[in-house]
Amino acid sequence: MLPDTSNGTTGKCPLTKEHRASYCCDMTKPLRKRPRLLILLLAFGIATFVALGLAEFAARLLVPEAHALGAIAYADAAGKPITRKEAVARGMIVPLPGPKPRPRTMFTPGETFYLTYSDNDVLKRDWFDEQSRVINHINFDGLREREEIQHAKPAGQRRIVCIGDSFTFGWGIPAELGWVRMLEDDLRQDKGDVRTVNCGASGAICVDEYVNGLKQRFHKYSPDAVILTLCLNDLLPSSGLNFISPVIPTGIKLIDLARGAFGRSPLDLDPSRDWVQELLDLPQKQAEDAGIAGPDRPFEAMWSQGLPQKRMREAKVWCAARNIPFLVVIWPFLQGLGKGEHYPWQKIHDLVAADLKAAGIPLLDVLPQLKETNSADLWVTPADPHPNPLAQDLTLPAIAKFVRSHINW
């Protein structure tokens, strides 16, 4: 409450003019400014809130929504979705027959199925069909190959048997867009009647199993050359490695965009760590406890245990005894690729190159053909980082040149 300034009789202020001026400066002026400052702060806050709201609205409207990892599923020949468990129960996936080092399954000979992807409404992969699917036909011998490629080789025909895992199979893309089939098309331009035989992912997923498959099954196609394709998870206990964690959206587009622009992707591994050596030094129990080694990806088949090196030398000897060129191609992990990116797996490429050079086994590393392209541009989908048709196109010229340089027909 303001003090009573009257004298009770005359109504005049008892303060002198100087006192009144001082009092007004000390009391009245601050009281007048305080509401004005609060109003200005409130107005600024409202304006900022409105500006951020408009920016968030514009970001949601104009910036494409980051797509979630789409689900991958099987569908039978009729297009009906089916789980792997149901596929096994229906006999679409069966145990691999004959001698084998470990229990393995394969797609049933003569089977046709689809791989389906749930996020193609966003990705618009033009090699999928109108229902976001890729068809896979398995021939009489359990291979993703044409039925006319029989064991008996026609006179005058040359064959290249291609062994490996899903990178050879062509997972997630049509067979004719994979490097195996495109290599055939390329060689036929000047090498006459050439056929490539796709023996990828047909009950063999490790290097020693590829070599067993060659000796026990794939030799029936009478190869004139053999290409063994290595992927890094054939050599390192890295499948499902738990150092990759998803970035969880905040729900605020501006924050998510800023985090994406200035933060580090969960796929960008710490460049200060030697990831290859850590995996090479990883004890078996620790790898199995972490779920990155086990029955499906046996620890004893890894590079650190020496088995891949030994079995590739055996394959060379087997092929040399039959005057068959034996060639090896290594693919990178499709991670850490692109201009200015850090690729954390170079060391294993160098180790493989040095070992195969010592063994006298020709090697092509396709990392240089892919290194300048962003990893995501090479994937089938973010949930399926197998090489898409762009990756196949980028590597084909180098593979075709490599093969031509080692065949004499």
The pLDDT profile of the chain, 409 residues, written as one tens digit per residue, is 434 444 444 444 444 555 444 444 444 455 455 677 788 777 777 877 777 677 666 656 665 554 455 678 999 999 999 999 999 999 999 998 877 778 899 999 999 999 999 865 556 789 999 889 999 999 999 999 999 999 999 999 999 999 999 999 999 999 999 999 999 999 999 999 999 999 999 888 899 999 999 999 999 999 999 999 999 989 998 765 444 444 456 666 556 555 554 455 555 678 888 999 999 999 999 988 888 888 778 999 999 999 999 999 999 999 999 999 999 999 999 999 999 999 999 999 999 999 999 999 999 999 999 999 999 999 998 889 999 999 999 999 999 999 999 999 9
Q: Which residue type does 172 have?
A: G
| CA separation for the pair 379, 324 (Å, rounded) | 33
Kindly state the DSSP code that residue 281 receives in the 8-state scheme: T
Per-residue model confidence (pLDDT) at position 47: 77
Could you tell me the maximum CA-CA distance found in the chain, to the nearest angstrom? 134
DSSP 191-259: HSSEEEEEEETSS--SHHHHHHHHHHTGGGG--SEEEEEE-GGGTSS-TT-TT--PPPP-S-HHHHHHH
In angstroms, the Cα distances linking 173 to 49, 129, 160, 170 are: 47, 10, 21, 6
Per-residue model confidence (pLDDT) at position 359: 98
Residues 131, 389 contacting (CB under 8 angstroms): no
Q: What is the dihedral of CA 328, 329, 331, 332, to 10 degrees?
A: 70
Confidence (pTM)? 0.79
Residues 392, 178 contacting (CB under 8 angstroms): yes
Closest by CA to 303, choosing from 327, 330, 325, is 330
Per-residue model confidence (pLDDT) at position 5: 42
Strands (E), 261-345: 326-330
Residues 319, 325 contacting (CB under 8 angstroms): yes
Closest by CA to 332, choosing from 346, 342, 350, is 346
> Which residues have CB under 8 Å from 160's CB, separation 6+?
183, 184, 187, 194, 195, 196, 197, 223, 224, 225, 226, 227, 403
In angstroms, the Cα distances linking 38 to 25, 28, 123, 347 are: 20, 17, 50, 62
Helix (H) or strand (E) holding 93: strand 93-95
In angstroms, the Cα distances linking 280 to 242, 306, 345, 348, 366 are: 16, 11, 12, 9, 22
Q: Which residue type does 40 have?
A: L
Residue 35 burial by CB count (10 A; 0-12/13-18/19+): exposed, middle or buried? exposed
* Helix, strand or coil, per DSSP, at residue 115: strand
Per-residue model confidence (pLDDT) at position 234: 92
Per-residue model confidence (pLDDT) at position 21: 47
Residues 254, 55 contacting (CB under 8 angstroms): yes
| CA separation for the pair 372, 370 (Å, rounded) | 6
Domains of the chain: 156-404 (3.40.50.1110)
